[in-house]
Amino acid sequence: MFKTLLLCVDINDEPGAARCADAAVAMAAPDAGVLHVLNVVPDTGMAIVGASLGPDHAERMIAQARQDLDAWALRTIPESVAHQCHVTRGTVYDQILKTAASLGADAIVVGANRPELRDYLIGPNAARVARHATQSVFVIR
Protein backbone atom coordinates (compact mmCIF):
# COMPACT_ATOMS: atom_id res chain seq x y z
CA MET A 1 0.00 0.00 0.00
CA PHE A 2 2.56 2.62 1.14
CA LYS A 3 6.15 2.55 -0.10
CA THR A 4 7.63 4.74 2.63
CA LEU A 5 5.85 4.47 5.93
CA LEU A 6 6.95 6.11 9.19
CA LEU A 7 6.02 4.14 12.30
CA CYS A 8 6.40 6.20 15.47
CA VAL A 9 6.69 4.17 18.65
CA ASP A 10 7.27 4.67 22.33
CA ILE A 11 9.33 1.62 23.23
CA ASN A 12 8.48 2.20 26.88
CA ASP A 13 4.87 1.30 26.00
CA GLU A 14 5.29 -2.22 24.59
CA PRO A 15 1.56 -3.01 24.11
CA GLY A 16 0.88 0.31 22.37
CA ALA A 17 3.99 0.03 20.21
CA ALA A 18 3.01 -3.50 19.21
CA ARG A 19 -0.50 -2.36 18.18
CA CYS A 20 1.03 0.38 16.04
CA ALA A 21 3.52 -2.05 14.50
CA ASP A 22 0.76 -4.50 13.58
CA ALA A 23 -1.14 -1.73 11.78
CA ALA A 24 1.97 -0.40 10.03
CA VAL A 25 3.07 -3.85 8.86
CA ALA A 26 -0.39 -4.38 7.36
CA MET A 27 -0.13 -1.02 5.55
CA ALA A 28 3.43 -1.41 4.28
CA ALA A 29 3.81 -2.14 0.60
CA PRO A 30 4.66 -5.82 0.12
CA ASP A 31 7.08 -5.02 -2.71
CA ALA A 32 9.92 -2.54 -2.29
CA GLY A 33 8.31 -0.71 0.60
CA VAL A 34 10.33 0.45 3.59
CA LEU A 35 8.98 0.76 7.08
CA HIS A 36 10.90 3.42 9.00
CA VAL A 37 10.60 2.99 12.76
CA LEU A 38 11.12 6.12 14.86
CA ASN A 39 11.59 6.54 18.58
CA VAL A 40 12.00 10.07 19.94
CA VAL A 41 14.01 10.68 23.09
CA PRO A 42 12.41 13.74 24.70
CA ASP A 43 14.52 16.73 25.65
CA THR A 44 15.29 17.14 29.33
CA GLY A 45 13.35 20.38 29.37
CA MET A 46 15.01 23.25 31.14
CA ALA A 47 18.72 23.77 30.44
CA ILE A 48 19.54 23.60 34.15
CA VAL A 49 18.16 20.06 34.28
CA GLY A 50 20.25 18.96 31.30
CA ALA A 51 23.36 20.55 32.78
CA SER A 52 22.91 18.72 36.05
CA LEU A 53 22.75 15.35 34.27
CA GLY A 54 26.23 15.66 32.81
CA PRO A 55 27.63 16.32 29.35
CA ASP A 56 27.35 12.77 28.01
CA HIS A 57 23.91 11.98 29.43
CA ALA A 58 22.08 12.79 26.18
CA GLU A 59 24.43 10.61 24.12
CA ARG A 60 24.01 7.69 26.53
CA MET A 61 20.22 8.06 26.40
CA ILE A 62 20.22 8.05 22.61
CA ALA A 63 22.59 5.07 22.42
CA GLN A 64 20.41 3.10 24.84
CA ALA A 65 17.24 4.07 22.97
CA ARG A 66 18.82 2.95 19.69
CA GLN A 67 19.81 -0.39 21.20
CA ASP A 68 16.33 -0.88 22.71
CA LEU A 69 14.60 0.09 19.45
CA ASP A 70 16.73 -2.29 17.38
CA ALA A 71 15.94 -5.15 19.79
CA TRP A 72 12.23 -4.27 19.79
CA ALA A 73 12.11 -4.16 15.99
CA LEU A 74 13.78 -7.57 15.72
CA ARG A 75 11.17 -9.04 18.07
CA THR A 76 8.18 -7.27 16.56
CA ILE A 77 8.57 -6.62 12.84
CA PRO A 78 8.47 -9.64 10.54
CA GLU A 79 11.65 -10.39 8.60
CA SER A 80 9.70 -10.08 5.37
CA VAL A 81 9.17 -6.35 5.97
CA ALA A 82 12.13 -4.13 5.11
CA HIS A 83 12.67 -1.66 7.92
CA GLN A 84 15.10 0.91 9.22
CA CYS A 85 15.27 2.21 12.78
CA HIS A 86 15.76 5.88 13.65
CA VAL A 87 16.25 7.59 17.01
CA THR A 88 16.02 11.34 17.37
CA ARG A 89 15.99 13.72 20.30
CA GLY A 90 13.71 16.69 20.86
CA THR A 91 10.03 17.52 21.02
CA VAL A 92 8.13 14.39 20.02
CA TYR A 93 5.67 15.83 17.49
CA ASP A 94 8.29 18.13 15.96
CA GLN A 95 10.75 15.27 15.46
CA ILE A 96 8.04 13.09 13.91
CA LEU A 97 7.14 15.80 11.39
CA LYS A 98 10.79 16.53 10.55
CA THR A 99 11.64 12.86 10.13
CA ALA A 100 8.59 12.22 7.93
CA ALA A 101 9.57 15.14 5.72
CA SER A 102 13.23 14.13 5.46
CA LEU A 103 12.33 10.53 4.57
CA GLY A 104 9.64 11.53 2.08
CA ALA A 105 7.16 9.36 3.99
CA ASP A 106 3.87 8.57 2.28
CA ALA A 107 2.12 8.09 5.62
CA ILE A 108 2.71 8.25 9.37
CA VAL A 109 1.47 5.72 11.92
CA VAL A 110 1.35 7.05 15.46
CA GLY A 111 -0.21 5.75 18.64
CA ALA A 112 -2.50 7.59 21.00
CA ASN A 113 -2.64 6.88 24.69
CA ARG A 114 -5.89 6.73 26.54
CA PRO A 115 -6.97 10.34 26.78
CA GLU A 116 -7.00 12.18 30.01
CA LEU A 117 -9.57 14.89 30.56
CA ARG A 118 -7.21 17.52 29.18
CA ASP A 119 -6.52 15.55 25.98
CA TYR A 120 -10.15 14.80 25.05
CA LEU A 121 -9.86 12.78 21.83
CA ILE A 122 -6.26 11.82 21.11
CA GLY A 123 -2.99 12.54 22.84
CA PRO A 124 -1.34 15.91 22.33
CA ASN A 125 1.55 14.56 20.21
CA ALA A 126 -0.71 12.50 17.95
CA ALA A 127 -3.10 15.45 17.60
CA ARG A 128 -0.32 17.83 16.59
CA VAL A 129 1.09 15.36 14.09
CA ALA A 130 -2.37 14.81 12.58
CA ARG A 131 -2.97 18.57 12.33
CA HIS A 132 0.36 19.58 10.85
CA ALA A 133 1.59 16.65 8.73
CA THR A 134 1.40 16.86 4.96
CA GLN A 135 1.17 13.05 4.82
CA SER A 136 -1.75 10.84 5.74
CA VAL A 137 -1.68 10.11 9.48
CA PHE A 138 -3.08 6.96 11.02
CA VAL A 139 -3.71 7.20 14.76
CA ILE A 140 -3.81 3.80 16.42
CA ARG A 141 -5.51 3.26 19.76
Q: Quick one: pLDDT at residue 87? A: 97
Per-residue pLDDT of the chain (141 residues; tens, 9 = 90+): 789 999 999 988 999 999 999 999 999 877 778 999 999 998 765 555 555 666 687 788 899 999 999 999 999 999 999 999 999 999 999 999 999 999 999 999 999 865 544 444 456 888 899 999 999 999 998
Q: Are strands 34-42 and 136-140 parallel, antiparallel or unpaired?
A: unpaired
pLDDT confidence of residue 120: 43
| 9 exposure class (CB count in 10 Å sphere: 0-12, 13-18, 19+) | buried
CA–CA distance, 110 with 6 (Å, rounded to integer): 8
Q: Name the architecture of domain 4-140.
A: 3-Layer(aba) Sandwich (3.40)
For 137, residues 6+ apart whose C-beta sits below 8 A from its C-beta are: 107, 108, 109, 110, 126, 129, 130
Q: What is the pTM of this model?
A: 0.86
The pLDDT of residue 50: 54
Gap between the Cα atoms of 123 and 31, Å rounded: 33
